[in-house]
């Protein structure tokens, strides 16, 4: 089946999502393809008064894009890879993984705050939408108060500026891609905060039966070193389960010897329980090692931590209903 002309890219409507879609559009156009962009509203964009962890759907930012792919309304979906569920739905394939931007987490101080991370006062207030970030902040500094915040990058920054919070934690990649590096106070050290699975990478999906389109996306957009790393991270996530619904992190990267280093963690929301370990392996072993690492952390006590978090969330959802 020939590649559609024009290729229609589906994307969420946030400024960051549009930046990512337009970046992919420019790459495809450089190879001679005509490309249009279609904005699709996802459930995660509509439901802003409930934490993502309590919506109870790993595909909260992707399901509507999947439906559009399967219906043929769009030909390509561009995602922040960390938004993709651990297992893609039937009929959808991850055709290419784009080169990763900085995968870390950034401390974004309130404009009136001069302190570095190490200088934050006792009882400082940091905002984040992520259970992973919350858990690791509390493990690092139990005295810090962590408050929830939702919205796209721009709206979160506006909330920060209008607040009395000391700062906020956001993905480095989004801030850098949107030209907001001036808002970054400093990067969280990765020995303090393990990044989210796939953070900083782009996931480019299409319908599984669109073989020519998938081959073209692979040849034009795929970055193999990034793919090896994030595939290992996603193997970790598949074993743990839950995606961004649970406080877990995994970060894989190449060292100077061209081995793959994998950090994984499972943490309790209050930071008192933290299970973390590192593996070093060959690229060929990376996914298997990541799965084994995840199982090791689950067996060490991580499974009980996650069961308790999921049980509490289920109870709250039942109460609200």
223 to 24, 96, 101, 229: CA distances (angstroms): 13, 8, 12, 10
Orientation of helix 153-161 relative to helix 15-30, angle to 10°: 150
User: What is the rounded distance in angstroms from the CA atom of residue 20 to the CA atom of residue 221?
Assistant: 12
- What is the phi/psi pair of residue 207, to 5°? -70, 140
Give one DSSP letter per residue of 159-170, joined into a string.
HHHTS--SEEEE
240 to 61, 247, 294: CA distances (angstroms): 20, 10, 6
8 to 14, 29, 74, 207: CA distances (angstroms): 18, 12, 5, 12
User: What is the rounded distance in angstroms from the CA atom of residue 142 to the CA atom of residue 9?
Assistant: 44
Q: Which among 45, 83, 263, 292 is annotated as catalytic?
A: 83
Report angle CA 279, 249, 151 to the nearest 5 degrees: 160
Check if 36 is active-site: no
Structure tokens at 117: 């991370």
List, by residue number, the catalytic residues: 83
């Amino acid at each position: 089946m020939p590649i559609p002309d024009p290729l229609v890219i589906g994307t969420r409507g946030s400024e960051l999502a549009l930046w990512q879609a337009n970046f992919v559009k420019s790459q495809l156009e450089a190879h001679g393809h005509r490309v249009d962009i279609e904005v699709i509203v996802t459930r995660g964009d509509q439901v802003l008064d409930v934490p993502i962890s309590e919506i109870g759907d790993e595909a909260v930012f992707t399901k509507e894009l999947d439906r559009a792919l399967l219906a043929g309304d769009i030909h390509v979906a561009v995602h922040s890879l960390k938004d993709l569920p651990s297992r893609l739905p039937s009929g959808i394939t991850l055709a290419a993984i784009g080169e990763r931007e900085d995968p870390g987490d950034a401390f974004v101080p309130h404009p009136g705050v001069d302190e570095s991370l190490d200088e934050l006062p006792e009882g400082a207030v940091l905002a984040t939408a992520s259970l992973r970030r919350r858990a690791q902040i509390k493990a690092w500094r139990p005295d810090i108060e962590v408050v929830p915040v939702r919205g796209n990058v721009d709206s979160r920054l506006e909330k920060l500026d209008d607040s009395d919070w000391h700062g906020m934690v956001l993905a480095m990649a989004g801030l850098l891609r949107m030209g907001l590096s001036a808002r970054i106070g400093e990067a969280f050290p990765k020995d303090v905060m393990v990044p989210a699975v796939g953070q900083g990478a782009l996931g480019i999906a299409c319908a599984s039966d669109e073989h020519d389109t998938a081959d073209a996306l692979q040849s034009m957009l795929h970055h193999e070193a990034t793919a090896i790393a994030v595939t290992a991270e996603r193997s970790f996530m598949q074993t743990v389960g839950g995606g961004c619904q649970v406080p877990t992190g995994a970060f894989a990267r190449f060292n100077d010897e061209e081995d793959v280093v994998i950090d994984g963690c499972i943490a309790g929301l209050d930071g008192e329980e933290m299970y973390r370990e590192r593996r070093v392996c060959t690229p060929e072993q990376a996914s298997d090692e990541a799965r084994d690492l995840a199982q090791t952390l689950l067996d060490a006590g991580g499974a009980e931590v996650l069961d308790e978090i999921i049980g509490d969330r289920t109870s709250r959802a039942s109460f609200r209903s």
